[in-house]
Structure 1
Amino acid sequence: MTTLTIELSCLLLATFLGAGLVKGVTGMGLPTVAMGVLGTAISPVAAAAILIVPSLTTNVWQMLAGPDKLRLMRRLWPMMLCIVIGTVLGARLLVIVDPVWSGRTLGLALIAYAAYALFSPAVSIPNRLEPWLSPVIGMVTGVVTGATGVFVIPAVPYLQSLGFQKDEVVQALGLSFTVSTVALAGGLLAHGAFRLHQIGLSLLAVIPALIGMWLGSIVRQKISPKTFRRCFLLFLVVLGLELTLRPFS
């Protein structure tokens, strides 16, 4: 059980303010930052439950911010369906695995995503491969989401490789993250890991997340998003190393 203390309250406010700031600048990263930071203080399954409402709120906002919702849904529905299936199945791992090992898995996921984003070249997926590749990517993304609470691998690089325009990529990511959030909530609920007191903590986190997004939109106008993104990814590497190496320290 995650009891609300002054220390946890401060951690939640700071975490979701920072996570919202990252999302406001880059269009993504709220659950990744929240899981990484909270995972250093509480169990990953408790952290995943707390991020549900702020993640859903900010991702629905992102998904609805463009005109192509229905077209994106028609194109990406096989991937979204497999995300749901994979997440519900993967959430079982998050619930039953020792928190130390799930924390290590979360750390490795953060490092893998950051390393890919920092060093990989741009990739373009041919249209002919999309019908069978989308369900595979969706299933893998779902299992990773369910097991770690992180939505980005491999959905983000895959969606960025499909030839969408800039605004379409942001909206497609919003769709994917929204589906992942709902599926993660369903998976945690199905396995008895989403409890009433965690809903209260999750609601508490919405306000700093929205404030952070607003601040991020201001910061985006003041600094280079590329520079900010590089710093953010390096921060994820450090956070991932801390989570991964903690059991051995």
Structure 2
Amino acid sequence: MAQTNAPLPLWPKGAPGALGQEPKDIPTLTPYLAPADKATGAAVVVCPGGGYGGLAPHEGHDYALFLNQQGVHAFVLKYRLGTAGYRHPAMLQDVQRALRLVRARASEWGVDKQRVGVMGSSAGGHLASTALTHFDRGNPNATDPVERESCRPDLGILCYPVISMGPLTHAGSKLNLLGPNPDPELVKLLSSELQVTADTPPCFIWHTADDAVVKVENALEFASALSRHKVPFALHIYPKGRHGLGLADKPPFAQPHPWALELVRWLKEQQFVKP
């Protein structure tokens, strides 16, 4: 059984730009540590989807349990939401802080700092993609030891992701993230297909061709950008499957969707999972 812990506030003294002190104002990270006899030292920060208006448990808790089965430590992020009055950059601040926190407490949790990835679904996939395209190596002069750590993920896992804030976007996610009538430059900055560079980490991407909520072109455009910049990636497009599919199974995941099995194979290639 995976070891789980209580949610940890990302900022014990309060998040930057917090609008209050209620639970909705306190972003947290919940550790799901893989069993000691399986643990590989790799870790993934998991960003559930929900249109930047909610957080879907099956894209957080369930993913964490599945990763634990593979020996990967998982950390489920509760990030701030548009429905609680937040806009960019609060969400990006939260995922960046989560990546730093995992590295800052690596020795405590048995994590290899060089093997920390990020995973997200739908709008959580957009958040993960922003973490993959907006990062720094940490501030060595910071008084807060967490801020000294890098927030660059070592890999990304994007599940039916929102990628663009342009014409291909999911309107509800865009509204919750950027508000009405955002600056065109901000739209460009948060369109992840336009922000890929040669330093973007390797990615695993999957989507369904008939997704009626988030257009499959989001995944295709991001993969194309990775290809142009010679960033390694795996892309899986399935003909059918509703949006929000997740693992299409419940714990202990006797028959997960084929994407999950392909992910395990890919994670072995990335040395996140034992051969």
Q: Give the TM-score normalised by the residue count of structure 1.
A: 0.31
Give the number of the structure whose residues are more often strand, by fraction.
2
Q: Which of 1 and 2 has higher RCO (CA within 8 Å, sep 6+)?
A: 1
Which structure shows the bigger proportion of residues in helix conformation?
1
TM-score for the superposition, normalised by structure 2: 0.29
